[in-house]
Copies of this chain bind each other. A is one copy, B any other.
């Protein structure tokens, strides 16, 4: 019997997953939560073997969270759950201790297999994800992005969010009570870290990877 927990800010997904496995004797859903606080509480109250973790939580970096959980709960296996099949995200997930990477368009069987595989300590890679990884490493057409998701600093995070909200350097500087030069530095670093050529790239990456 496998106990698993869920952290996803969409109750729909949580409830759906829970009811999906309700009748399966092999897999027992321990609980589902929609906030980090709830999830942490639950983890302590009733530990699970496998945690399904949404990569794009409100205001939270799922990847970081994954690493964090892995350190705090060594026996815990984590399956990242996401809508985006971005190679950098996938790699970052695995580099940070994820046992699997599931697209939200995964079917019942795939989810089940992922959970059982993760439980047994092996990695599960969805066939679809595998394909994406392969095609991306061939690199036909698309701009090569960084192979991992760099960790943004607090400030960079803030600046990025404001950029995505269409604010100019001047406006951001005013809002953060710093000079425009400082904001420019952050912009430059963001471009570099995210491998973007300009604002368009920043916004695109930010939205796609759920960095904002």
- A186, chain B: closest CB distance, angstroms: 15
Does chain B have a CB within 8 A of A9? Answer: yes
Q: Residue A113 at the B interface, CB < 8 A?
A: no
Complex interface: stretch among A62-70, A129-137, A147-155, A161-169: A161-169
Copies in the complex: 2
Known: A83-B10, A143-B166, A207-B208. A15 touches B108 (CB 8 A): yes
The 10 closest A-B pairs by CB, nearest first: A16-B16, A203-B203, A19-B19, A166-B201, A166-B197, A10-B104, A199-B199, A166-B200, A200-B203, A11-B107
Establish whether residues B105 and A10, one from each chain, have CB atoms under 8 Å apart when the complex forms. yes
Interface size bracket, A side: 35 or more
Given contacts A10-B104, A199-B200, A203-B203, 20 further A-B contacts (CB under 8 A): A10-B83, A11-B105, A11-B107, A11-B108, A12-B13, A12-B16, A12-B17, A12-B104, A12-B106, A13-B104, A15-B20, A16-B16, A143-B166, A163-B200, A164-B200, A164-B204, A198-B199, A199-B199, A199-B203, A200-B203
Instruction: For chain A, residues 1 to 46, give those with C-beta under 8 angstroms from any C-beta of chain B.
Output: 9-13, 15-17, 19-20, 22, 34
Is the beta-carbon distance between A105 and B166 smaller than 8 angstroms? no
Residue of B nearest to A108 (CB): B15
Q: Does A90 contact B (CB under 8 A)?
A: no
> Per a CB cutoff under 8 Å, which of B34, B83, B198 touches A105?
B34
Q: How far is the CB of A196 from chain B (nearest CB, A)?
A: 7
Q: List 21 A-B contacts (CB under 8 A).
A: A11-B105, A11-B108, A12-B13, A12-B17, A12-B111, A13-B16, A13-B104, A15-B108, A16-B16, A34-B105, A143-B165, A163-B200, A164-B204, A166-B198, A166-B201, A168-B198, A200-B203, A203-B204, A203-B207, A204-B207, A207-B208
